[in-house]
Amino acid sequence: MTCEGWQYWGNDIAAWLQATRPVHRILRWLLGWWHPSICFLKIRKRRVGLPSNSQDFCSDYDIPETVATTCDFYPDCGVPRSAGGILLLETWPTVLWKGRPMRMVVALVLLILVLSGGLRSAHAQEGVDGGARPLSATEERALKPGDVFKECDMCPELVVVPTGSFTMGSPASEKGRGDNEGPQHPVTIAHPLAVGKFHVTVDQFAAFVKATGFDAGSSCWVWNGSRGEEQTGLSWRNPGFAQEGTHPAVCLNWNDTKAYVGWMSRKTGKNYRLLSESEFEYAARGGSSTRYFFGDDEAQMCRYANGADKTAQATIPGISDWRVVPCSDGYAYTSPSGSFTANSFGLYDMHGNAWSWVEDCYHDSYEGAPADGSAWTSGDCSRRVVRGGSWFYVPRNLRAAFRDWYSFYRSNLVGFRVVRTFD
């Protein structure tokens, strides 16, 4: 340290002391100290002269001469040998000895309270935003069908879908129909929805796990070449085939997806949840009443969906005799979200790629089903509905009306998508 350098630094310290004088007064009242820094200035004033903006510190604080004597000097410069911080340490025992014990206890308690309040505030802030940018009320009112938004960098993109009515289920004449797809019944979706444009992706689920430490298990049901079996060492991170971050997250059970949407709601302060079964079919159909949102012809599938196609048949053992999708979509397993053509609502992969968990408990008939788009949450809730089909499903099981259920295990066929409401 040179004398010149010290001089410049000393001016900075003097300016800082001047600017923070109210704090020093509080500290001095509580703890009985501010001697060290003043000592520094006092000595400096004596030896090299104080800057004009700090000339009154010594008299202001009535520094005892004895304190000044604890400071050392640079012999070459005639100034304190180091910064105020060092001087603080040097004189700290004196400060403690001369301090005001009761006031120090009060100060310590206040400090703890302030710090703990700050931590609580930081924690709450993380819960409310954590980088989230929820829409304002004005922005929400301005939304119209087809608009796309997301509320944090790693949040799912959402598409505003129009309200409306549709006929849920399939007619008896539909090719490949299952008995559990009836009776057909009208459903009205009167509430505005913003539906996940894609499945929740691997990267998006990873962001959730990173933020929360959530444990989504270490085993998953997979196809072993002849049947499905649960294998350990598999999870959404490694579902038994290669995935990129934009692929749908799979090997997630219903509870995993509920944890995710709960976190999304807390993070944004908005209502994120799973779709109801009727909302899903309404969104998948996109105004159509055909087998698929693009029509009835499964030969067109490879433009719109990733199913069990010729690519899969050439890759996956044990399915050579399946009646697969009669074209090549290019993917044996999951595909990057949005690889195929969207439906008329602007939603991708509503057929295939991965099943989506929905909120409803499974019923094998629509007798008594809600007609207002709400989830059917009575009955046997050990089975939850999945919709949309997956990369492992043949044309019949990729239809808009097709439905199935899983209990609470994880499968590399099943992921989910979110919906965001405005109530």
**Residues of the shown chain interacting with Ca ion in the complex, contacts defined by CB under 5 A:** 306, 309, 312, 329, 331
Token pair of 344, please?
A: 């008329």
Shortest Cβ 284–Ca ion spacing (Å): 18
Shortest Cβ 388–Ca ion spacing (Å): 14
Nearer to Ca ion, 36 or 352 (CB): 352
Shortest Cβ 237–Ca ion spacing (Å): 22
Nearer to Ca ion, 306 or 397 (CB): 306
Nearer to Ca ion, 293 or 331 (CB): 331
Token pair of 378, please?
A: 């009575």
Cβ-contact 292, 400 below 8 angstroms: yes
Torsion of CA 368, 289, 418, 413, to 10 degrees: 90
Token pair of 20, please?
A: 């923070």
Shortest Cβ 266–Ca ion spacing (Å): 36
Q: What's at 158, amino acid-wise?
A: L
Beta strand 355-361 pairing with 414-416: parallel
Shortest Cβ 302–Ca ion spacing (Å): 8
Cβ-contact 54, 41 below 8 angstroms: yes
Cβ-contact 387, 354 below 8 angstroms: no
Nearer to Ca ion, 241 or 409 (CB): 241
Shortest Cβ 340–Ca ion spacing (Å): 10
Nearer to Ca ion, 306 or 412 (CB): 306
Neighbours of 417 (CB within 10 A): 29
Nearer to Ca ion, 268 or 390 (CB): 390
Q: What's at 112, amino acid-wise?
A: I
Report which of 247, 204, 258 is spatially closest to residue 349, judged by C-alpha positions. Answer: 247
Shortest Cβ 321–Ca ion spacing (Å): 17
SS3 content of the chain, % helix, strand, coil (to 5): 35, 15, 45
* CA–CA separation, 146 and 143 (whole Å): 9
Shortest Cβ 312–Ca ion spacing (Å): 5
Cβ-contact 197, 157 below 8 angstroms: yes
Q: What's at 268, amino acid-wise?
A: T
Q: How far is CA 373 from CA 116, 281, 287, in A?
A: 45, 10, 15
Shortest Cβ 325–Ca ion spacing (Å): 7
Shortest Cβ 391–Ca ion spacing (Å): 5
Report which of 194, 153, 165 is spatially closest to residue 346, judged by C-alpha positions. Answer: 194
In the three-class reduction of DSSP (H, G, I as helix; E, B as strand; rest coil), residue 222 is classed as strand
Cβ-contact 198, 157 below 8 angstroms: yes
Residue carrying structure tokens 């979200």: 337
Nearer to Ca ion, 80 or 395 (CB): 395
Nearer to Ca ion, 284 or 312 (CB): 312
Nearer to Ca ion, 259 or 394 (CB): 394
Residue carrying structure tokens 């302030």: 114
Nearer to Ca ion, 157 or 309 (CB): 309
Query: Cα–Cα–Cα angle for 362, 243, 285, nearest 5°?
Result: 40
